[in-house]
Amino acid sequence: MSSALRPRPVLLLLLLPLALLLLLAWRHWQGPPLPGYRLETRPLVQRVVASGEVSSQSLARIGSELTGVVRARHVREGDAVKPGDLLLELDDREQRARLGEAEAALRQLIDAERPQARAALREAESQLQRAGSERQRRETLFARQLLSAEARDQARHAEVAARAARDRAQLAAAALAEGGSAEQQARQRVEQARSALARTKIHAQVEGSVQTRNVEPGDLVRPGDTLLEIARQGSQEILLPLDEKSLAPLALGQSAQVIADAFPERVLAARVAWLAPAVDPARGTLDVHLDLAEPAGFLRQGMTVSVSIETARRERALVIANDALRAVAGGRAEVLRVRGGEVERVAVTLGLRGTALSEVVEGLAEGDAVLAADAEPGQRVRVRKQPLPAGVAE
């Protein structure tokens, strides 16, 4: 190659700074690089996420119908019980004594009082018969004028008295007869004493598990005291005190996922079963109850859980990152779109709202670039693209 065609070092030294200046001028004209996103179409799930606790729809509170001292306790927290299982025993000496008295009184009625009443009735009937015969004899003598009127009247009075005594004996015998009022009362006292004795043993009425115990042997208990609490079998639920700001998308029947903090690897399916009719004004929350799809024996009453409720889903949605939204008001917002290298403010209509992404239903198109940083309309900028969260947007 001739020396005339070789690049001159001086010329290269002059062109290199010039190119660098042109590049810097071009970059300055393009504007500063700002973080932003390009809108994509992907599945979108709207969820409400909150913390709750394991609860029970039905918690049976066990108490005593009697005042007494606890003699024995047969269960403790966590024990599974079935109807009829013995839970507690009270000291029953007083009740046994009362039952013995009532049974003795019933035997006394049957073995002694009833035969005596029958014998007294027979004696009264015999006395009445004799008084009647005597009255008839004196009536005959008086008619023959062989007896004074006073003696006749005495016989009449004696017959009346004997009849009254017979009537009283009949009433007493009837009361003491088999199935009579006296026997019924005596048997009722026996049954009451047996019932009181039976109440000294406290049995489970429902199937479930013992949640709390508030009594030990030697404690004095009274009616109205809660001695044990039993969560009914199959009544386990999730209680979610949800902030009232998150209530709008919530509805009965929505599916949810429940994860106990103590067992993060176990994901449980549930559904929204009940919404409280009023908001707690002190906390600003509303109680939401979720039913589990299947029993979860590892859950314990009061255990903390994380809940994610699916409130809506789109299989294809135009999504935008929430940090790109400006002036959000209900279902309306503004974004800073970059078109032709210049920033412009665009009003958009939103659909589903998630914790990180939202659906754009009007105002933008797929592939549009929007800023996640502040800029002035008309300003030239370069978009430093950032990826939207991967997978199903929430």
The DSSP element (H or E) to which 155 belongs, if any, is helix 149-176
Burial 83-113 (b: 16+ CB within 10 A, else e): eeeebbbbbbeebeebbeebbebbeebeeeb
Q: What is the bridge-based pairing of β-strands 33-38 and 382-385? A: parallel
Q: Are 173 and 121 in contact (CB under 8 A)?
A: yes
Give the pLDDT of the chain (394 residues) as one tens digit per residue.
445 555 556 555 656 665 565 555 455 545 788 999 999 998 888 888 899 999 887 788 999 999 999 999 999 988 889 999 999 999 999 999 999 999 999 999 999 999 999 999 999 999 999 999 999 999 999 898 888 999 999 999 999 999 999 999 999 888 888 888 899 999 999 999 999 999 999 999 998 888 889 999 999 999 999 999 998 887 789 999 999 888 888 999 999 999 999 899 999 999 999 999 999 889 899 999 999 998 887 888 889 999 999 988 888 999 999 999 999 988 899 999 999 889 999 999 999 887 788 999 999 999 999 999 998 898 999 888 888 865 444 4
